[in-house]
């Protein structure tokens, strides 16, 4: 019925490619996914891939944006942004980002692997991480505004520490290498963050 242009039969090659890339990256934890694999799964020739994305890095980067859109990063951050207290904000942010990591892990891993060799990939990754850092900064700032930030750390340093704690690598090490279930990861990180950043004497539990 409703005709607009092509639709239905050909779901926009470009998005078919992105879906294929996403699926493969997820399935293989980001390791060993070649352009030809993605092409095959998208049902096109390897060369046609390059008609849409000039470079493996470009495809990977486009896939991250697609993924964000798909998973609704922004909405997930609403609880954090609307938190009333600094403590709530810290918890909400850890929950949101910490819960997002496993969903993007394959992508992240692949992009991270290119970071050392490809400048565009490096920039894309660093931009993303900068966003996360801003989230950390905001949480630390909220804590500070509540006079709850431990005097042991300046806001900047606290941001550095929180940002590092919440890195994809740390998630990987704790869940995949140490075998922690996701809930324990989230729970422990929340409690560690409180213990580290929230000043003593004032409610620690």
Binding site for DNA (CB under 7 A): 13, 32, 34-36, 43-48, 50-52, 54-57
Stretch that binds its own copies, among 15-23, 95-103, 140-148, 160-168 (CB under 8 A): 160-168
Q: Is 15 in the site for its own copies (CB under 8 A)?
A: no
Residue 103's H or E segment, with its range, is helix 86-115
Side-chain half-sphere of 113: how many Cα atoms within 13 Å? 13
Return the number of the residue (57 or 87) whose C-beta is nearest DNA. 57
Q: Restricting to residues 70-109, name those near its own copies by CB under 8 A.
A: 109
What are the C-alpha distances in Å from 35 to residues 17, 38, 41, 54?
10, 5, 10, 11
How far apart CA 86 and CA 35 sit, in angstroms, is: 45
Contact in structure between 139 and 162 (CB atoms under 8 Å): yes
From the list its own copies, DNA, none, which binds 55 (C-beta under 5 to 8 Å, kind-based)? DNA
SS3 192: helix
Q: Which residues bind its own copies (CB under 8 A)?
A: 31-32, 109, 113, 116-117, 152, 157, 160-161, 163-164, 167, 169-170, 173-174, 178, 180, 188, 191-192, 195-196
């Amino acid at each position: 019925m409703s005709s607009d242009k092509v639709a239905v039969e050909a779901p926009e090659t470009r998005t078919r490619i992105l879906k294929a890339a996403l699926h493969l990256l997820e399935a293989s934890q980001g390791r060993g996914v070649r352009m030809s694999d993605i092409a095959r799964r998208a049902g096109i020739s390897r060369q046609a891939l390059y008609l849409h994305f000039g470079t493996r890095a470009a495809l990977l980067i486009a896939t991250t944006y697609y993924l964000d859109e798909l998973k609704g990063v922004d909405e997930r951050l609403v609880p954090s942004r609307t938190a009333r207290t600094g403590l709530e904000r810290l918890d909400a942010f850890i929950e949101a980002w910490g819960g997002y990591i496993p969903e993007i892990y394959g992508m992240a891993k692949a992009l991270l692997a290119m970071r050392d060799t490809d400048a565009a990939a490096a920039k894309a990754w660093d931009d993303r991480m900068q966003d996360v850092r801003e989230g950390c900064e905001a949480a630390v700032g909220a804590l500070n505004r509540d006079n709850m930030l431990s005097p042991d750390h300046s806001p900047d340093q606290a941001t550095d520490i929180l940002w590092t704690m919440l890195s994809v690598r740390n998630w990987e090490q704790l869940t995949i290498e140490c075998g922690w279930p996701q809930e324990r990861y989230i729970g422990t990180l929340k409690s560690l963050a409180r213990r580290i950043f929230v000043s003593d004497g004032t409610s620690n539990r």
